[in-house]
Structure 1
Amino acid sequence: MPKKKKGKGSKLARMSDEERVRYLQHRAELELEAKRRKQQLIAAFTKSKLKREEAFARLNTAKINEQWRFILRRIKCKELHEDVEYLWNNFNRLMKTKNLMIQRLHSELEAADVNHRRLQEAHIKIMDLIIGRCKQKCIDLHESFAHERNRIVSDETNELNRIRNNLEQYCSQLQNINFGQDKSIENILTQTKIQNAVNIYGIAYLKEDSLSRLMHYGSNEVEKLWRQLNEIITEYEKNTGDKRKQYEYLKEQDDAHRVDVAQYPKLQTQLQRVIKSLKQDTHALSQKREQSIAELNDQIIRMRKKTENLRQIFSMNQVLDTAQLKKLTIISANIRKELQRISEKGLTVLSLLRMCSNLEPFSLTVQKYTLRDTGSRRAFTSCEYNNIQKSLYLQFLNNEYLQMSEPFDKLDKFWEQFNYIKSDNIFMKKECDKLSFENKQLRNTLRTYLLTISKATIARPLTSISV
């Protein structure tokens, strides 16, 4: 028989309090997690269901709207059909009524036109009557105005004549009055002149008497005052003797001070000149300072521009240097590989040289390359050839040995043969240059000879013809 599972009670009984609490907490968390998952599933199911319901609702509403629009279109078409039938049935009746209306309006227009013409004729007649009456009235008014004007002119002329006569009478009366007044004024003036002469004589006599009295009194007073003045002058001279001396002394000092003061303008002018010169110097110095400041500011601006340009150039050069450095690193890596390859080849060549040198017999000697006389070349003497060959050989040996490196010292024989061949080529080039130069000279001489011959042949027939 299978074993029975132990119950939860026995399991909890075997646990301690802490384990029981942890176990129950774990079970509660598992239950909460299960509830949460269940709620999530329910929410997802409800969301999907709601989405489906919304989709079905949208479809149903679209179908209902489409059906409703179809019904409305049918109703509208039916109404339009009925309206068209009604209009079609009533079209003739409307045309008849409109024609009758047009005829009636035409007759009314004709009657109105006749009435308008009659009224216009009556109006014209009335206006003519009014104009005639107004014209007659204007003529009557003009005649009455002329009659009244003539009457007023005659009355005014009579009035003017009467006023003129009155004025003449008044003028004669005024002349008589003026003559009488002139006579009375002359009498009054004669009387006043006589009275004035009497008064003037009395005043002059009184004046002479008062003047004589005043002269007598004044002479006495003048004598008294003259005596007093002489006494005062003598006392003043006595009292002011010392003061006069002091005044003379002060006057002399004043003259000396005046001389000094006369010299002050010269000093003032000199000082003003000095001040002007100092002002000019200060102005020139200020201008120089401003110019120097402006130049320094310009230099600062130029230096800033230069620094900015240098920074830009430096940044560009830095970028270029970085790019070139990258390229150089790549190239150097390639060159390094190539040099390694060349070094490997050199090692192989050295190994071959060692093998060849070991296998080479002692009796073997290198036959040097010499010039061969081919007939077209000019034969050199043996001594000249040997001297030149030795000098060139030594020169090339020095150059080549300096360029050669130490690992290739064992290729001396090869380089000797190479140098002999190179010297022979140099001699051949020199000989070729000399021969080309001689060839050019011969061509020039031949050309000149042919030209002289051609000129001589042209000149002969001319001489014969002239003879």
Structure 2
Amino acid sequence: MPKKKKGKGNKLARMSDEERVRYLQHRAELELEAKRRKQQLIAAFTKNKLKREEAFARLNTAKINEQWRFILRRIKCKELHKNVEYLWNNFDRLMKMKNLMIQRLHSELEAADVNHRRLQEAHIKMMDLIIGRCKQKCIDLHESFAREYNRVASNETNELNRIRNNLEQYCSQLQNINFGQDKRIENILMQTKIQNAVNIYSIAYLKEDSLSCLMHYVSNEVEKLWRQLNEMITEYEKNTEDKRKQYEYLKEQDNAHRIDVAQYPKLQTQLQRVIKSLKQDTHALSQKREQSIMKLNDQIIHMRKKTKNLRQIFSMNQVMDTAQLKKLTIISASVRKELQRISEKGSTVLSLLRMCSNLEPFSLTVQKYTLRDMGSRRVFTSCMSEPFDKLDKFWEQFNYIKSDNIFMKKECDKLSFENKQLKNTLRTYLLTISKAPVARSLTYISV
């Protein structure tokens, strides 16, 4: 009957505490390594998958943005086309309306101009009449003043002349009177002279007083008339100030409308040029739009083919990745089993080695580590690798056996070299002997 396999419990029971700890630590490290590799494979797979998904997402967003921009451009082109059609259809109607408005404004402006001229003429006539009347009144007052002055002066002079004439007559009559009455006449003459002087003085004073009163009255009347004239002029200016401003405003508007009317043909020609340029631009834009639509359709077809190919490649890669992942999982499971088997074999080998080392006598262990001579020690130390200095008994025994094999190989080589030398010397000796003449013995008899 085949031997039964010993369980892990018996295996662990046979181990010492240190070996059990090492064994369990080794098992844990192997499990952690397998788990880490599995996690790395899963992470790499998920990372690649996420990269592909991100690439497809970017491609899809680019397609969506491009389609959205194409739709927006098409909507904008439709709106521009509608606006141009509306402007084209309503241009004649707007031109007629503008012409009618200009004609109506021109007729209103002409009527306002005629009314303004009529008002201006009436105003000028009224001002001329008022100024003429004022001048005529001033002239009449001046003439009346002059007439009154001349009348008063003539009356006074006439009265003085009459009195003088009377006095001369009285004097002449008195001279004809008796010269005897000279004293009485002289007294009378003196009295009459004094009376005449008083009368003349009173007449002159009355004349000056009347003239001053007349001048004062005339000056007051003139001042009143001048004040009334100024008040009438100021009142007229106040009443006509709004009309003057309106006249100035209408005059400015008239000038502005004349300038606009002068610029209207230029604007019409400019608008016609703009309309022609817009027609040309719309035609060019329509051609460009058709070309761009054709190019975009070609690009869409190309991109669809490309996406179809990419989807096929992605599906193939996905299938291959799944197959490789399955293979990797199977291989990792088999590798894990193989490693477990190797670890079990190693543990059995170590246990056997430990048992053998425990059963070996002390003299053999001492003989293992006592080398034959210093040359062999140097060979041993030169053949040993550096990490073997701090190994366990197993590796020390391995190094000892390896050094012993090397020493034996060197001895074998040395002996083979000596054997060759001996063979050569023997061969030379035999050749020399064979070439030398052989001395015949006396007892030799030829047959």
Q: TM-score, normalised by structure 1?
A: 0.27
The answer to whether the Cα contact below 8 Å between 2:388 and 2:396 also exists between their aligned partners in 1 is no
Q: Structure 1, residues 222-258: CA drift from partner, whole Å, max 9, x if none?
A: 9999999999999999999999999999999999999
Quick one: distance in 2 between partners of 1:196 and 1:134? Answer: 46
Q: Structure 1, residues 103-154: CA drift from partner, whole Å, max 9, x if none?
A: 2122112112212222332343445456667878999999999999999999
The answer to whether the Cα contact below 8 Å between 2:371 and 2:377 also exists between their aligned partners in 1 is no
Shift in CA distance, 248/185, structure 1 to aligned 2, threshold 3 Å? farther
Quick one: distance in 2 between partners of 1:310 and 1:262? Answer: 70
Residue 182 (1) aligns with residue 162 (2): no
Q: CA deviation at 1:63?
A: 0.5
The answer to whether the Cα contact below 8 Å between 2:12 and 2:20 also exists between their aligned partners in 1 is yes
Q: Secondary structure at the match of 2:6?
A: coil
Q: CA deviation at 1:32?
A: 2.8
Shift in CA distance, 226/300, structure 1 to aligned 2, threshold 3 Å? same
Q: CA deviation at 1:71?
A: 1.6
Quick one: distance in 2 between partners of 1:77 and 1:233? Answer: 70
Shift in CA distance, 457/341, structure 1 to aligned 2, threshold 3 Å? same
Shift in CA distance, 78/362, structure 1 to aligned 2, threshold 3 Å? closer
Q: CA deviation at 1:62?
A: 0.7
Quick one: distance in 1 between partners of 2:122 and 2:231? Answer: 137
Query: Structure 1 stretch 1-10 or stretch 359-368: which is displaced more?
Result: 359-368
Query: Structure 1 stretch 261-270 or stretch 177-186: which is displaced more?
Result: 261-270
Q: Secondary structure at the match of 1:462?
A: coil
Quick one: distance in 2 between partners of 1:53 and 1:236? Answer: 94
Q: Structure 1, residues 189-239: CA drift from partner, whole Å, max 9, x if none?
A: 999999999999999999999999999999999999999999999999999
Q: CA deviation at 1:27?
A: 2.3
The answer to whether the Cα contact below 8 Å between 1:369 and 1:421 also exists between their aligned partners in 2 is no
Q: CA deviation at 1:91?
A: 3.0
Q: Structure 1, residues 346-374: CA drift from partner, whole Å, max 9, x if none?
A: 99999999999999999999999999999
Shift in CA distance, 129/313, structure 1 to aligned 2, threshold 3 Å? same
Q: Structure 1, residues 264-304: CA drift from partner, whole Å, max 9, x if none?
A: 99999999999999999999999999999999999999999
Query: Structure 1 stretch 354-363 or stretch 2-11: which is displaced more?
Result: 354-363
Quick one: distance in 2 between partners of 1:345 and 1:138? Answer: 156
Q: CA deviation at 1:14?
A: 1.8
Shift in CA distance, 117/69, structure 1 to aligned 2, threshold 3 Å? same
Equivalent position of 1:7 in the other structure: 7
The answer to whether the Cα contact below 8 Å between 1:369 and 1:420 also exists between their aligned partners in 2 is yes
Shift in CA distance, 85/149, structure 1 to aligned 2, threshold 3 Å? same
The answer to whether the Cα contact below 8 Å between 1:370 and 1:424 also exists between their aligned partners in 2 is no
Query: Structure 1 stretch 204-213 or stretch 126-135: which is displaced more?
Result: 204-213
The answer to whether the Cα contact below 8 Å between 1:368 and 1:420 also exists between their aligned partners in 2 is yes
Using CA pairs under 8 Å that are at least 6 residues apart, name the structure with larger relative contact order, 1 or 2.
2
Quick one: distance in 1 between partners of 2:103 and 2:234? Answer: 154
Q: Secondary structure at the match of 2:154?
A: helix
Quick one: distance in 2 between partners of 1:191 and 1:461? Answer: 250
The answer to whether the Cα contact below 8 Å between 1:373 and 1:379 also exists between their aligned partners in 2 is no
Shift in CA distance, 359/132, structure 1 to aligned 2, threshold 3 Å? same
Shift in CA distance, 70/303, structure 1 to aligned 2, threshold 3 Å? closer
Equivalent position of 1:397 in the other structure: none
Q: CA deviation at 1:66?
A: 0.8
Query: Structure 1 stretch 37-46 or stretch 211-220: which is displaced more?
Result: 211-220
The answer to whether the Cα contact below 8 Å between 1:366 and 1:413 also exists between their aligned partners in 2 is no
Q: CA deviation at 1:64?
A: 0.6
Sequence identity (%): 92
Q: CA deviation at 1:61?
A: 0.6
The answer to whether the Cα contact below 8 Å between 2:116 and 2:247 also exists between their aligned partners in 1 is no
Q: Secondary structure at the match of 2:365?
A: coil
Query: Structure 1 stretch 254-263 or stretch 4-13: which is displaced more?
Result: 254-263
Quick one: distance in 1 between partners of 2:81 and 2:230? Answer: 160
Shift in CA distance, 319/457, structure 1 to aligned 2, threshold 3 Å? farther
Q: CA deviation at 1:408?
A: 71
Quick one: distance in 1 between partners of 2:403 and 2:103? Answer: 140
Query: Structure 1 stretch 231-240 or stretch 356-365: which is displaced more?
Result: 231-240
Equivalent position of 2:407 in the other structure: 427
Q: TM-score, normalised by structure 2?
A: 0.28
The answer to whether the Cα contact below 8 Å between 2:369 and 2:400 also exists between their aligned partners in 1 is yes
Equivalent position of 1:72 in the other structure: 72
Q: CA deviation at 1:65?
A: 0.9
Quick one: distance in 1 between partners of 2:107 and 2:237? Answer: 149
Shift in CA distance, 377/239, structure 1 to aligned 2, threshold 3 Å? closer
Query: Structure 1 stretch 75-84 or stretch 105-114: which is displaced more?
Result: 75-84
Show structure 1 runs of 5+ residues with no match: 384-403
Show structure 2 runs of 5+ residues with no match: none
Q: CA deviation at 1:180?
A: 55
Shift in CA distance, 355/259, structure 1 to aligned 2, threshold 3 Å? same
Give the aligned CA root-mean-square deviation in angstroms: 50.4
Shift in CA distance, 143/307, structure 1 to aligned 2, threshold 3 Å? farther
Q: CA deviation at 1:80?
A: 2.6
Q: Secondary structure at the match of 1:357?
A: helix
Shift in CA distance, 351/381, structure 1 to aligned 2, threshold 3 Å? closer
Q: Secondary structure at the match of 2:3?
A: coil
Shift in CA distance, 90/159, structure 1 to aligned 2, threshold 3 Å? same
Quick one: distance in 1 between partners of 2:41 and 2:313? Answer: 69
The answer to whether the Cα contact below 8 Å between 2:368 and 2:400 also exists between their aligned partners in 1 is yes
Q: CA deviation at 1:56?
A: 1.3
Q: Structure 1, residues 142-178: CA drift from partner, whole Å, max 9, x if none?
A: 9999999999999999999999999999999999999
Q: CA deviation at 1:67?
A: 0.9
Query: Structure 1 stretch 127-136 or stretch 436-445: which is displaced more?
Result: 436-445
Shift in CA distance, 457/83, structure 1 to aligned 2, threshold 3 Å? farther
Quick one: distance in 2 between partners of 1:88 and 1:276? Answer: 11
Shift in CA distance, 186/347, structure 1 to aligned 2, threshold 3 Å? farther
Shift in CA distance, 124/6, structure 1 to aligned 2, threshold 3 Å? farther
Q: Structure 1, residues 366-395: CA drift from partner, whole Å, max 9, x if none?
A: 999999999999999999xxxxxxxxxxxx
